[in-house]
C-alpha cells in the first residue's frame, strides 16, 4: 500500500469518528470531533493490535513461559517504535513509559534534574506552557524564569528568541534546563527547537521539550535538533489509555537517580540495602507497566512512521490555512495566536465570537451543529489571559484578578477547535458555517441558554442526560442478560 493510501485508510479507521448524537432541531447525525488537542480518538488498527495482544496477556520481565516471552518482546518493540518515531538513535537515547500522560514525565524529570544539579538552580519555562510543563518545575527547582513570547495581545505567541538570548547571557551556568513546548496547546505556535538547543547547550543547560501537541502533527527528530529530553502523552496521538513517554539521552539518564522505586528496577534487595539496576529503561520503569497501552501506542507510531509525518504535516497545513482564512473573514470572530504566515502553527485554532462567552460558544456549537470543541483556558492560564488582555481591559476586567467570580470567568477564556488525522476540509467548512450561524442570531441564542457552574452554559429546553449518551451500567447489562 502506498503511504498516501495508508493515510486515507487510517483516516477512515478511527473508532467513534462518526458516533451519532441528537441536535436541538430533533435531528440525529454523526458528530464532528474538533477536540483532538484535549485527547485524540482511537486509531482502529492500533486498538486491534492491543486487543489481540490480550489473547497472550501476561506481565513482562520474563521470557520463560510463552505469554511472558511474547509480552516482553512486544513491550520492547513499543519502546523501539517510540525511538524511531521521534528520530532518536538508540545508541544515544532511551525511552521509558510513565504514568497516564505527559504530566508524569514532567514531574519525574523536574525532580530528577533538580536533584542531579542543585548548583544550577534556575529553570527556564516559556509563557506558553501547559500547567503540566510549568508547575512541576516551580515545585522542584530553586527559581523558575518565565520566557516571554513574541507579538502582543491577540497575536502573542512563539518564543521570543531575543529575550531568551538575553536571559541566557544573564543567568548562564546557573541554568539547569529549559522546559518548552514543541507546539502550544492554545495557539499551535511551533518552537524552533534546534535553535533553542544550541542556546542551551552553549551554557551547559538541557533542553526538555513538551511534545504533547507536536507529536501527532509535525515530524520531530531528536537527533537533528539535539534535544535532551522529550515528553508526550500517548492519548494525544490516537492511543487513548496508553502511557506517557519520556525519551532522553542515555548520558543524562545515567547521571540521575531513578525517581521511582519498586519492583522491576533493582538488581537485588537486602534488608540492609538495595541495588538499582544500571539497565535502562528498566531502572526508570518501576512497577508493572501499562503493557497493553504501550503496545497500542507502538502500533500507532509504527503506522504513522510508514505514512511519514511530513505528509501528515503537509495535509494539516492546508487545513490550517483554509480555516484561518475563513475564520478571519468573519467580522464577529477574534482568532488568537500568531498568524500562521508569521509563525508555523499546528492545527489548533482558538477563537471567540463577539457577544458570546466562550462556554456559550462551545455549548451552542455542540447543541445546534453537533461539533465538539473545547473552551476555557486549557490549563495554560497565563498564556490565555495574555492573549485576551486587550479585550478584557475593554470590558473593564482585570486579566489577572485572582479567584474571579463566575461572571468574570465566563469572559476569561476562549473556544478551541483542534484537528486530528481524521479532520477533513468538510469538517472545517461545517465549523465556519456553524460560527456564522450563531453569530447571525446572537440574541435568540442568548435567550435560550442559562449559565451553569463557573464557566458553562446549558440550553433551557434541550439537555440530553449524561447517562443517555453513555452509561457503563447499560453496557454491563448486555453481558448480564446473556445466558451463563
Ligand atoms: C501542551 C500540553 N502539555 C501537557 C499536557 C498534559 O498532558 P497529560 O494530561 O496527558 O499529562 C497537555 C494536555 O492537554 C498539553 O496539551
- pLDDT tens for 390-417 read 999 999 888 888 766 667 888 899 999 9
Phi, psi of 340 (to 5 degrees): -60, -15
130 C-beta closer than 6 A to ligand 1? yes
Contact criterion met (CB below 8 Å) for 21 and 213: no
47-307 CATH fold: 3.40.640
How far is the centre of ligand 1, averaged over its atoms, from the C-alpha of 74 (Å)? 26
Q: Quick one: CA torsion of 132, 137, 139, 141, rounded to 10 degrees?
A: 170
SS3 category, 136: helix
Q: What does the pLDDT look like over 13-22, one tens digit per residue?
A: 999 999 999 9
**Between the CA of residue 349 and those of 32, 78, 187, 267, 417, what are the distances in Å?**
15, 32, 6, 49, 5
Q: For 228-273, where are the E strands, in sequence order?
A: 229-233, 244-249, 266-269
210 C-beta closer than 6 A to ligand 1? yes
Q: What does the pLDDT look like over 120-155, one tens digit per residue?
A: 999 999 999 999 999 999 999 989 999 999 999 999
Mutation pick for ligand 1 pocket among 36, 181, 214, 236 (CB with most ligand atoms within 8 Å): 236
Mutation pick for ligand 1 pocket among 209, 244, 337, 379 (CB with most ligand atoms within 8 Å): 379
133 C-beta closer than 6 A to ligand 1? yes
pLDDT for position 404: 67
Distance in angstroms (rounded) separating the CA atoms of residues 234 and 238: 7
Give the residue whose CA is nearest to atom 7 of ligand 1. Answer: 102
Contact criterion met (CB below 8 Å) for 276 and 283: yes
SS3 category, 31: coil
Helices (H), 150-192: 161-171
Q: Cell digits for 98?
A: 510513565
Cβ partners under 8 Å of residue 46, min gap 6? 238, 239, 296, 297, 299, 300, 303
The domains of the chain are located at: 3-41+309-469, 47-307
How far is the centre of ligand 1, averaged over its atoms, from the C-alpha of 105 (Å)? 11
What is the atom index within ligand 1 of the atom nearest the CA of 129?
1
36 C-beta closer than 6 A to ligand 1? no
Burial code (b: 16+ CB inside 10 Å, e: under 16) for 150-161 equals: bbeebbbbbbbe
Distance in angstroms (rounded) separating the CA atoms of residues 29 and 484: 36
How far is the centre of ligand 1, averaged over its atoms, from the C-alpha of 230 (Å)? 13
Mean pLDDT of the chain: 96
212 C-beta closer than 6 A to ligand 1? yes
Cβ partners under 8 Å of residue 388, min gap 6? 336, 399, 412, 413, 414
SS3 category, 457: strand
Residue 281 has pLDDT above 80, yes or no: yes
350 C-beta closer than 6 A to ligand 1? no
Q: Could you name the CATH architecture of 3-41+309-469? A: Alpha-Beta Complex (3.90)
Q: What does the pLDDT look like over 177-218, one tens digit per residue?
A: 999 999 999 999 999 999 999 999 999 999 999 999 999 999
How far is the centre of ligand 1, averaged over its atoms, from the C-alpha of 101 (Å)? 7
pLDDT for position 400: 83
Widest pairwise Cα distance in the chain: 74
Q: What does the pLDDT look like over 101-124, one tens digit per residue?
A: 999 999 999 999 999 999 999 999
**Beta strand pairing status for 449-452 and 371-372?**
unpaired
User: H or E stretch including 414?
Assistant: strand 414-418
Evaluate the omega torsion of the peptide bond into residue 281 and state whether it is cis, within 30 degrees of 0. Answer: yes
How far is the centre of ligand 1, averaged over its atoms, from the C-alpha of 137 (Å)? 15
How far is the centre of ligand 1, averaged over its atoms, from the C-alpha of 415 (Å)? 17
SS3 category, 120: coil
What Rg do the C-alpha atoms of the chain give, in angstroms? 23
* pTM of the complete model: 0.97
Amino acid at each position: 500500500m502506498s503511504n498516501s493510501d495508508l493515510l486515507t485508510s487510517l483516516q477512515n479507521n478511527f473508532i467513534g469518528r462518526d458516533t451519532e448524537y441528537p441536535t436541538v432541531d430533533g435531528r440525529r447525525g454523526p458528530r464532528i470531533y474538533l477536540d483532538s488537542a484535549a485527547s485524540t480518538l482511537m486509531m482502529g488498527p492500533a486498538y486491534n493490535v492491543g486487543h489481540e495482544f490480550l489473547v497472550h496477556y501476561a506481565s513482562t520481565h520474563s521470557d520463560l513461559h510463552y505469554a511472558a516471552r511474547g509480552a516482553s518482546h512486544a513491550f520492547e518493540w513499543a519502546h523501539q517504535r517510540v525511538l524511531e518515531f521521534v528520530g532518536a538513535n538508540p545508541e544515544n537515547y532511551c525511552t521509558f513509559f510513565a504514568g497516564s500522560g505527559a504530566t508524569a514525565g514532567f514531574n519525574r524529570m523536574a525532580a530528577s534534574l533538580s536533584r542531579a544539579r542543585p548548583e544550577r538552580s534556575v529553570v527556564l519555562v516559556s509563557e506558553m506552557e501547559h500547567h503540566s510543563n510549568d508547575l512541576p518545575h516551580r515545585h522542584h527547582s530553586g527559581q523558575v524564569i518565565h520566557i516571554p513570547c513574541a507579538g502582543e495581545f491577540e497575536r502573542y505567541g512563539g518564543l521570543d528568541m531575543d529575550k531568551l538570548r538575553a536571559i541566557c547571557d544573564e543567568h548562564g551556568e546557573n541554568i539547569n534546563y529549559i522546559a518548552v513546548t514543541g507546539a502550544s496547546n492554545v495557539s499551535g505556535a511551533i518552537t524552533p527547537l534546534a535553535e533553542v538547543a544550541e542556546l542551551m547547550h552553549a551554557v551547559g543547560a538541557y533542553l526538555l521539550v513538551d511534545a504533547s501537541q507536536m507529536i501527532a502533527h509535525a515530524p520531530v527528530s531528536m537527533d537533528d535538533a539535539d534535544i535532551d529530553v522529550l515528553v508526550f502523552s500517548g492519548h494525544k496521538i490516537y492511543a487513548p489509555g496508553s502511557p506517557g513517554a519520556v525519551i532522553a539521552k542515555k548520558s543524562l539518564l545515567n547521571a540521575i537517580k531513578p525517581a521511582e522505586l519498586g519492583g522491576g528496577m533493582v538488581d537485588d534487595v537486602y534488608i540492609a540495602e538495595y541495588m538499582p539496576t544500571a539497565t535502562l529503561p528498566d531502572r526508570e520503569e518501576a512497577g508493572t507497566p501499562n503493557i497493553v497501552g504501550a503496545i497500542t501506542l507502538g502500533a500507532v507510531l509504527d503506522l504513522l512512521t510508514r505514512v511519514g509525518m511530513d505528509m501528515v504535516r503537509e495535509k494539516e497545513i492546508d487545513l490550517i490555512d483554509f480555516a484561518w482564512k475563513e475564520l478571519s473573514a468573519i467580522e464577529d470572530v477574534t482568532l488568537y495566536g500568531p498568524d500562521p504566515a508569521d509563525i508555523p502553527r499546528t492545527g489548533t485554532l482558538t477563537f471567540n465570537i463577539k457577544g458570546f462567552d466562550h462556554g456559550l460558544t462551545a455549548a451552542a456549537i455542540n447543541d445546534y451543529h453537533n461539533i465538539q470543541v473545547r473552551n476555557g483556558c486549557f490549563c495554560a492560564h497565563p498564556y490565555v489571559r495574555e492573549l485576551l488582555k486587550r479585550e478584557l481591559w475593554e470590558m473593564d476586567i482585570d486579566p489577572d484578578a485572582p479567584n474571579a467570580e463566575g461572571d468574570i470567568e465566563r469572559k476569561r477564556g476562549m473556544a478551541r477547535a483542534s484537528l486530528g488525522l481524521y479532520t477533513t476540509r468538510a469538517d472545517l467548512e461545517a465549523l465556519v458555517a456553524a460560527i456564522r450561524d450563531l453569530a447571525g442570531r446572537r440574541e435568540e441564542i442568548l435567550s435560550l441558554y442559562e449559565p451553569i457552574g463557573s464557566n458553562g452554559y446549558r440550553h433551557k429546553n434541550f439537555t440530553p442526560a449524561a447517562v443517555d449518551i453513555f452509561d457503563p451500567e447499560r453496557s454491563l447489562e448486555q453481558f448480564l442478560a446473556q445466558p451463563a
